[in-house]
Amino acid sequence: MLLINIRRLRLYLFMLLLVVAAVYLLQAKWFWRIFYPWPYKQEIVRAAVNTGIDPCLLVAVVKVESGFNPRARSDAGALGLMQLMPGTAGWVARQTGWQDFHTELLYQPEINLMIGSWYLKHLLQDFDGNLIAGLAAYNAGRGNVEAWVRSGLWKGTKDDLDKIPFPETRAYVRAVLQNYEIYRYLYD
């Protein structure tokens, strides 16, 4: 009888230890950083600071766009960490006075981040600082978002994300916002 009670007590203590360990791990930032790493942190922070974008926003965009793969290439032809279309990157290069830009440079993290962060900042300014509309434009194109807002199809707010006509863009904005909040919590 005493042996059974000691076994039961050991079992209860072991279960309690497991619960305490689980609670500790679930609230430990270092644990969640395993699932939300920040590769290219120095480069991302530098690009963010140079353009005045929150580094946690920029890392969220990179995570959603390429999963931190600098050699990523989409079916549509978008390249690198921030999945820039060559035409868009060329336009940014011209806007910033870069004379010797060529598409292969988009596979270099520093250059991709510099161009992508400049473009994102430009979109945010075009939409008067509206993060939701700026992110939607980064994914779907400025013209599409302007048309949606102008026609009243979408107000450009988080509250009416479900009204974005492109399902991919709805999912994209949600994913970036979710990752943005997580990175702000884990790394700020």
User: 139: which residues sit within 8 A by CB, 6+ positions away?
Assistant: 166, 168, 169, 172, 173
Tokens of 122: 């430009």
Using alpha carbons, select from 108, 109, 140 the residue that is nearest to residue 123: 140
104 is catalytic: no
Which residue out of 43, 65, 146, 168 is catalytically annotated? 65
Residues 149, 15: Cα–Cα separation, whole Å:
55
* Burial environment of residue 133 by CB neighbours within 10 A (0 to 12, 13 to 18, 19 or more): buried
Residues serving a catalytic function are 65
